[in-house]
Amino acid sequence: MNIAIYGAGSIGTILGAYITKGGLNVDLISRNTSHIKALKTNGARIIGTVEMTVPVNAFLPEEVSKKYDIIFLLTKIVDNLSTVRTCVSHLADDGIICTMQNGLPEMDVAEVIGESRSFGCAIAWGATMVDNGICELTSEPDSITFSLGSFSKNVDINRLNTIKSILETMGRVEVKKNFIGARWSKLLINCSFSGMSAVLGCTFGEAAKNKESRLCIQKIIKECIDVSRLAGIKIEPVQGKDICKLLDYNNKLKQFISFQIIPIAIKKHRLLKASMLQDLEKGRITEVDGINGIICKYGSKFNFPTPYNNMIVKIVHEIEQGKAKPSFENLDRFNDLT
């Protein structure tokens, strides 16, 4: 079985190292020439909450000659349809794609290759690229989980189990019947913690510790939950924890409890720095329109206000354009929101 990770950045490199260490044949593919060169020369060095160096197969896209049975897609979701079409050129005739991207990327994959060959996976851990060939796992090892599923009504169980067995070389895999709900769980986390991390220029833990930014996180979470209800989507638990039960509120007491729980809920991922922030630091365009922007679109669809998610999108675009910088000073922009 030929396996590829297309878009081997920080998360893809770490996942590839674990899969390789687990005895499976996987190729890591990236357009980052310096990163691929380092992987070829020194292997994948993983630091942070784990320490290991694993020799891996690494290639630039133009170096790939084989066709893959399974491609794990980990590129940014910017211009995603074009990316998926490029990815398909490396796919076997009956091959499948499992997208592990942010947002709701399964629709793009299905548009190109059909729902029956499209699978999705929400990742509940984080990583940072420290240098070429060196990636930091920023989540605790016991919090590494994957939520796996498909939007198709006729899911191929054998294929699903094959993907599950591959990912189990790294962590616990939960197959979700309500996969759209699992996607929204990850979306909620990305919107709130990643959104504030990008705007403030800090880690998840630092955003949760500051009471002003924690209030913003709480408001973003509330908007995500309220919009999901209007859309008829049931948000799935994350790592056994019911997000809605813990963090939703409809009175002052529950709001107070929710506020106190936020730093505890993110404790095992407190060192994580949002991929959006990493992009901003490198002068790249972010995925904010496919993350917080999705909540804004759903809010507009149901005529429901999403001022906190709107502000995240606005500030991140200003940072992309050089009109602002990631800073805790950006908290002032949220003061007058209701």
- Could you tell me how many helices (H) and strands (E) the chain has, helices first? 14, 12
Question: In the beta sheet, which residues pair with residue 204?
Answer: none
On average, the pLDDT of the chain sits at: 95
Token code pair at residue 210: 């500051």
Write down the residue that tokens 């019911």 correspond to.
242
Report in angstroms the alpha-carbon separations of 16 from 10, 65, 87, 301, 331.
10, 19, 17, 39, 37
Structural domain of 324: 181-334
Task: Write the CATH number for 61.
Answer: 3.40.50.720
Boundary residue ending a domain (177, 195, 224): 177
CA 321 to CA 224: how far, in whole Å? Answer: 26
Mean pLDDT of the region 302-315:
98
What are the E-state strand segments in 1-88?
A: 3-6, 26-29, 44-48, 52-54, 57-59, 68-73
- Other C-beta atoms closer than 10 Å to the C-beta of 237 total 17
Q: Given this model, what pLDDT does residue 151 score?
A: 87
Which whole-number Å values give the CA distances from 111 to 74, 78, 178, in the listed order?
A: 17, 16, 20
Instruction: Say if strands 91-99 and 3-6 run parallel, antiparallel, or are unpaired.
Output: unpaired
- Per-residue confidence at 338, pLDDT binned at 50, 70, 90? low
Same domain assignment for residues 217 and 137: no
Taking Cα atoms as reference points, which of 136, 166, 152 lies closest to residue 272? 136
> Cβ distance 31 to 178 under 8 Å?
no
Same domain? For 127 and 10 the reply is yes
What pLDDT sits at residue 124? Answer: 86
pLDDT in tens, 224-242: 999 999 999 999 988 788 9
Please tell me whether residues 7 and 91 are part of one structural domain: yes
- Residue range 245-262, pLDDT digits in tens: 999 999 999 999 999 999
Count Cβ atoms within 10 A of the Cβ of residue 285 and give its class: 0-12 exposed, 13-18 middle, 19 or more buried: middle
* Pair 297, 321 in one domain: yes
Can you give 148-169 as a three-state secondary structure string?
EECCCCCCCHHHHHHHHHHHCC
Choose the weakest-confidence range: 78-82, 97-101, 248-252, 300-304: 78-82
Q: What is the mean pLDDT of residues 272-277?
A: 92
Same domain, 205 and 325: yes
Please give the span between the terminal C-alpha atoms of the chain, in angstroms, as a whole number. 53
Kindly state whether residues 189 and 256 are assigned to the same domain. Answer: yes
41 CB-side CA count, 13 A: 9
Q: Which of 177, 206, 226 is a domain's end point?
A: 177
The residue type at 173: V
Q: Would you tell me how many other CB atoms lie within 10 Å of the CB of residue 86?
A: 12
107 and 194: one domain? no
Give the domain-ending residue among 177, 210, 229: 177
The domain total for the chain is 2
| Cα 138 to Cα 119: distance, rounded to the nearest angstrom | 26
Q: Are residues 23 and 168 in the same domain?
A: yes
Same-domain pairing of 18 and 164: yes
Please give the average per-residue pLDDT across 86-94, as a whole number.
93
Q: Which residues pair with 123 in a beta bridge?
A: 146
pLDDT of 181-227, one tens digit each?
999 999 999 999 999 999 999 999 999 999 999 999 999 999 999 99
Which of 73-77, 86-90, 152-156, 242-246 has the least mean pLDDT?
Answer: 152-156
pLDDT at position 245: 92
Percent of the chain with pLDDT over 90: 90
Report pLDDT for 218: 97
pTM of the model: 0.86
Residues 197 and 172 in one domain: no
In this prediction, residues 154-172 reach a mean pLDDT of 95
Q: Cα–Cα distance between 101 and 73 in angstroms, integer?
A: 7
Do 310 and 272 share a structural domain? yes
State the CB neighbour count (10 A cutoff) for residue 283: 8
In a shared domain, residues 152 and 238: no
CATH number assigned to the domain comprising residue 225: 1.10.1040.10
